[in-house]
Structure 1
Amino acid sequence: MTSGIHHVTLITGDVQANVDFYVGFLGLRLVKRTGGYEDARQLHLFYGDHDASPGSLLTFLVWQGGSSGGVGAGQISEVALAVAPGSIGFWIERALRLGVRSDGTGQEFGETVLRLRDPDGIVIKLVSADLPALDMPDGDVPAGHRVRRIRGVTLLTEVQEESVDFLTRSFGFRAERREGPIQRLVSDTGDVLDVRDAAGFWPGAPGTGTADHVALRAADAAEVEAVAADLRRRNSSLTNVHDRNYFTSLYVREPGGVLIEMASDGPGFTLDEPLETLGTTLFMPPETPDPEAMKVMLPQFALPGEERVVYRDLIYKHRFFTPAAPDGTTLVLLHGTGGDETDLMPLAHEAAPDATLLGLRGRSTEDGTRRWFRALGPMIFDQKDVRFESGALEAFFEEARGAYGLDPERMIALGYSNGANLLGAAMILHPGMVRRAVLLRPVMVLDEVPATDLSGITVLIVLGETDAFRPQGERLAEVLGRAGAAVTLRVLAGGHALGAADGPTLADWLG
């Protein structure tokens, strides 16, 4: 049996800060970028050595802007990376110079360790260990001080003896030394699993800043299947075997609750991308519906030294999508009830493939559902909140123009349903906010309409033929037209939901 660590998968809430730390600070290579196999709207990044070797791989599920988790029993608490004996001083100085948080040094199992915190707060432990070095990429870290490989992980379990028995029986690790509450397990390659007695600890909670699982090595798919069959015979916890394209995976929870994956060494990351250009192309899982649309919804980032969007802390959480050849137009997107800042990006990209997209996230919630303003009942809107959020939207437009250098003459606001409702109200209350707007399935939410001049403003309103809210949308079109706006009204087959005709209708109007 092949034994050792194949990869460790963790969760980040800020993709750009994550790339800057693991590529820029630690000097790893970004070897693959994909959509998530469980959720194609989730970016998945893989870091490793130059050859993307098993034993070097740290992978991250990107929950952009997601909530923080809590490390506790049933989780991985630390990830250890091996560096050369005598290199800890270099990394202490580098962390101080580059502003990376350090929790200090110590001695563990006869090795000097330096605990660092990545941008999400994950503990990355650099260990002075005499292990064979993998071929790390060239960069500003001198060859003698580069990260060599994964050294190990620390598992928190409330049933330490059962966890140790499970991992040594099924995955080729052997028990070695014990130090305090930690039993160390060692593989044939020298990787370690430090199984810590966490009796009495609080249970772990998934979220950003936590680990999802550790993957242990198998020689090939046949070995993965054999271990899965053995676990089923032993009535182990539920096992799942999956083809992850680059390796075959088995997932199982050890008795303490930590998610364990077994991953085959092959076929590897060069299956669809040559070694020289690993990590430069975004791939989607084979069964992803409409993969090009999904790609638009994934957060973008830049490698160190590349041009990037520097995000500002503005009124609304927001995300940019920058096309390959931007034409200077910016579409500002306001999602419908229950949506988020990425929902309208596929539609907008279909209609305007060279436009920069700026998606906003509503900040009002009702019963856990994200909205743009409060509703007091069906078609009963909180007028004070509508006016307050209309002012906030106007302020965001002004901030965004200054913060990102956006051309006001080439900004087009686009809202759907609840987002279109706020956009329509804000245009009436603040007529200078935007000069072009698209309202998809809107209704009139203002009880009282102030006198306003919308001359020079052009608006596309798209309604559903059988939409129960269609009359209220037609009323909004009349109000905007009477105020001087040039309104184009389109009625499409269907109801309140967006359909196949919305993209071409929007493209035609924009053109």
Structure 2
Amino acid sequence: MTSGLHHITAITRKIQANVDFYCGFLGLRLVKRTGGFEDAAQLHLFYGDAEASPGSLVTFLAWEDGSPGRVGHGAASEIAFAIHPEAIGFWLTRALQFGVSASGPATEFGEPVLRLTDPDGIIVKLVGTTAVEPGAAWPVRGIEEADAITRLRAATLLSEKPAESLDFLARHAGFSVAGTEGTITRLISTSGQAIDVRDATGFWPAAPGTGAIDHIALRMPDRAAVEAQAAALRSRGDDMINMHDRKYFYSLYVREPAGGLIELASDGPGFAVDEPLETLGSRLFIPEHFHLRPEDIVPMLPQFGLPGEPRIIYRDLPFVHRIHEPDAPDGSTLVLLHGTGGNEASLLPFGRKIAPSSTLIGPRGRSTEEGVARFFRRFGAREYDQRDIRSEAEAFIAFIQQAEEAYGLDKERVSFAGYSNGANFLAAVIMLHPGLVREALLLRPVPVLVDPPDNDLACTRIRILAGADDPAGEETSVLAEQLRRRGASVDLVTVAGDHTLSEADVIAAKTWAG
């Protein structure tokens, strides 16, 4: 049977740094960009050889500015690529030139190994070997074909039950034991690719997050073979199986006995099923089962540039943030503040609909409540942490001032929009720090400041959108009066609906943004 590694999937915190490392430094080809199959708002990138061959692929889910994971038993810990043995020296020199952390070379299972660290801290090994049939190298300036990565060589799996893990992989994926070095037992497939099972007894368990490997995918010749393995697993009493059509391959997900997530993936139909081989990776695929329009999801996905293409250079500012640039920017900027439980990307689709030519900036609230992001804390249903509001407002002012400088924003063309908690916070910022916010859209806001200062807001134009069936509608009117008494120009509009946003809000907001 066909056996070997199909792909390895990990999680990255910064997609641009990830692209620069795997395409720019390692010289892999970006062969597909998709919305996540489990979460369409999560960008998923696939890298591989020139033909996107099974066995050459490493994929990354983007958790932008997400919490770091932890390497431990029950997960893979290393990705190994095959290179020609004579290329080790080239890669050591290249690592020094690019400032990539490297150690070695050392010898493992009779092969020279250079260890690198990717931007998320994942160990990437370059292994000099002739045991794996080379794939078609993707031409990259500075990397000769003789030095290029040829295919995946191996993955390292940490296991508290190494004997059971070995038995599982041999029985269901066509691997066989080839040797042992110390605490590591090597399994070899018919393709020559390997899985190194390391005895991690007594080590801490793995935790998901950025910088962690999510799963190892193993090759099956076709869908029928995947389904046959599902039947074999069920016959042994393993019902914790997920089967999915991933468009480019058919997959079975299962936990091996020590808890590691293993995917059995068919070789076909392949990545060229929906775009020509010569242009692979040039367009975004959104899984059909979400029934989403591109305009509803594309603005939520982080933007990046391939080597040589323009890209956003993010700055380290007081708030984690996301920038989305339009195809034809007009020089204006719209800053969008999410509601409770949202994040920096939540309002970007709304912002793109109402301001199609504006650069969008979405900051993430820094206060948390029961694990969800907010712009300030609450003590109760209608009791707000006044000290938190004021301190976060000062930090937000610093963020906007630094963003204007860092990203070259036109201060006269920066406007703001906030929803729910973000709108409440934005209204507080307007009253506490007059002059910074000149144009604001407040969606479903309520007043949260106790004894707001009597500052002059004559230079501020505000539109408030209240829901006709929103229980907080009366409080919204109170806020509108607070702002008017301080001189702000306030346009209070009631739209159909409750506290949630709808197409009516988009229509009403377009006239404000226009």
Q: Shorter-chain TM-score: which interval? A: over 0.9
Return the offset for 1:237: 5.5
Q: Which of the numbers 200, 218, 225 marks the counterpart of 1:216?
A: 218
Structure 1 partner of 2:392: 389
SS of residue paired to 1:426: helix
SS of residue paired to 2:328: coil
Structure 2 partner of 1:178: 180
Return the offset for 1:367: 2.4
- The 8 Å contact of residues 237 and 254 in structure 1, kept in 2 or not, is answered as no
In structure 2, C-alpha distance between the alignment counterparts of 1:235 and 1:449, rounded to whole Å: 64
Consecutive unaligned residues of structure 1, counting only runs of 5 or more, are none
Give CA deviations for 1:58-103 in whole Å, capped at 9, x if unaligned: 0011111111111111111111101101111111111111111113
Q: Which of the numbers 467, 473, 493 marks the counterpart of 1:464?
A: 467
Return the offset for 1:349: 1.3
Worse overlay, 243-252 or 136-145: 136-145
Counterpart mapping for 1:309-348 below 5 A: 309-348=312-351
- The 8 Å contact of residues 115 and 123 in structure 1, kept in 2 or not, is answered as yes
In structure 1, C-alpha distance between the alignment counterparts of 2:158 and 2:513, rounded to whole Å: 56
Return the offset for 1:468: 2.2
Counterpart mapping for 1:38-437 below 5 A: 38-130=38-130, 131-139=132-140, 140-236=142-238, 238-292=240-294, 293-437=296-440
In structure 2, C-alpha distance between the alignment counterparts of 1:167 and 1:386, rounded to whole Å: 54
Match of 2:195, as an amino acid?
L
Return the offset for 1:484: 2.2
Match of 2:81, as an amino acid?
L
Worse overlay, 9-18 or 347-356: 347-356
In structure 2, C-alpha distance between the alignment counterparts of 1:239 and 1:365, rounded to whole Å: 35
Structure 2 partner of 1:16: 16
In structure 2, C-alpha distance between the alignment counterparts of 1:377 and 1:77, rounded to whole Å: 43
Give CA deviations for 1:229-262 in whole Å, capped at 9, x if unaligned: 1121122352221100000001111112111111
In structure 2, C-alpha distance between the alignment counterparts of 1:120 and 1:294, rounded to whole Å: 25
Return the offset for 1:321: 1.0
Give CA deviations for 1:139-198 in whole Å, capped at 9, x if unaligned: 121211111110011111121221111111221112112222221111111101111122
SS of residue paired to 2:103: strand
Worse overlay, 10-19 or 473-482: 473-482
Return the offset for 1:462: 0.6
Give CA deviations for 1:30-61 in whole Å, capped at 9, x if unaligned: 00000111111111100000110011000011
Match of 2:63, as an amino acid?
W
In structure 2, C-alpha distance between the alignment counterparts of 1:261 and 1:451, rounded to whole Å: 62
When normalised by structure 2's length, the TM-score is 0.97
Return the offset for 1:8: 0.6
The alignment of Structure 1 onto Structure 2 pairs a total of residues equal to 511
* Structure 2 residue 498 is matched with structure 1 residue 490: no
Q: Go from structure 1 to structure 2 and tell me whether the alpha carbon gap of 1:444 and 1:236 turns closer, same or farther (over 3 Å shift).
A: closer
SS of residue paired to 1:437: strand
SS of residue paired to 2:290: coil
In structure 1, C-alpha distance between the alignment counterparts of 2:384 and 2:45, rounded to whole Å: 42
Match of 2:241, as an amino acid?
T
Give CA deviations for 1:343-391 in whole Å, capped at 9, x if unaligned: 1111111222222110010101122232111222222222222222222
SS of residue paired to 1:365: strand
SS of residue paired to 1:427: helix
Q: Go from structure 1 to structure 2 and tell me whether the alpha carbon gap of 1:472 and 1:135 turns closer, same or farther (over 3 Å shift).
A: same
In structure 2, C-alpha distance between the alignment counterparts of 1:62 and 1:428, rounded to whole Å: 37
In structure 2, C-alpha distance between the alignment counterparts of 1:321 and 1:9, rounded to whole Å: 26
SS of residue paired to 2:289: coil
Give CA deviations for 1:192-234 in whole Å, capped at 9, x if unaligned: 1111122222111111111111111111111111111112112
SS of residue paired to 1:501: helix
Match of 2:83, as an amino acid?
V
In structure 1, C-alpha distance between the alignment counterparts of 2:257 and 2:117, rounded to whole Å: 28
In structure 1, C-alpha distance between the alignment counterparts of 2:161 and 2:15, rounded to whole Å: 35
Consecutive unaligned residues of structure 2, counting only runs of 5 or more, are none
In structure 1, C-alpha distance between the alignment counterparts of 2:194 and 2:179, rounded to whole Å: 11
Structure 1 partner of 2:26: 26
* Structure 2 residue 3 is matched with structure 1 residue 3: yes
SS of residue paired to 2:11: strand
SS of residue paired to 1:87: helix
Return the offset for 1:132: 2.7
- The 8 Å contact of residues 319 and 399 in structure 2, kept in 1 or not, is answered as yes
- The 8 Å contact of residues 237 and 252 in structure 1, kept in 2 or not, is answered as no
- The 8 Å contact of residues 137 and 150 in structure 2, kept in 1 or not, is answered as yes
- The 8 Å contact of residues 133 and 191 in structure 2, kept in 1 or not, is answered as no
- The 8 Å contact of residues 75 and 156 in structure 1, kept in 2 or not, is answered as yes
Structure 2 partner of 1:442: 445
Match of 2:170, as an amino acid?
T
In structure 2, C-alpha distance between the alignment counterparts of 1:223 and 1:367, rounded to whole Å: 45
SS of residue paired to 2:422: helix
When normalised by structure 1's length, the TM-score is 0.98
Worse overlay, 245-254 or 484-493: 484-493
Give CA deviations for 1:424-475 in whole Å, capped at 9, x if unaligned: 1111121111211100111112222323222232111111122222222112
In structure 2, C-alpha distance between the alignment counterparts of 1:75 and 1:411, rounded to whole Å: 46
In structure 2, C-alpha distance between the alignment counterparts of 1:23 and 1:164, rounded to whole Å: 33
- The 8 Å contact of residues 250 and 261 in structure 1, kept in 2 or not, is answered as yes
In structure 1, C-alpha distance between the alignment counterparts of 2:378 and 2:197, rounded to whole Å: 51
Q: Go from structure 1 to structure 2 and tell me whether the alpha carbon gap of 1:115 and 1:237 turns closer, same or farther (over 3 Å shift).
A: farther
Return the offset for 1:291: 3.6
Return the offset for 1:106: 0.9
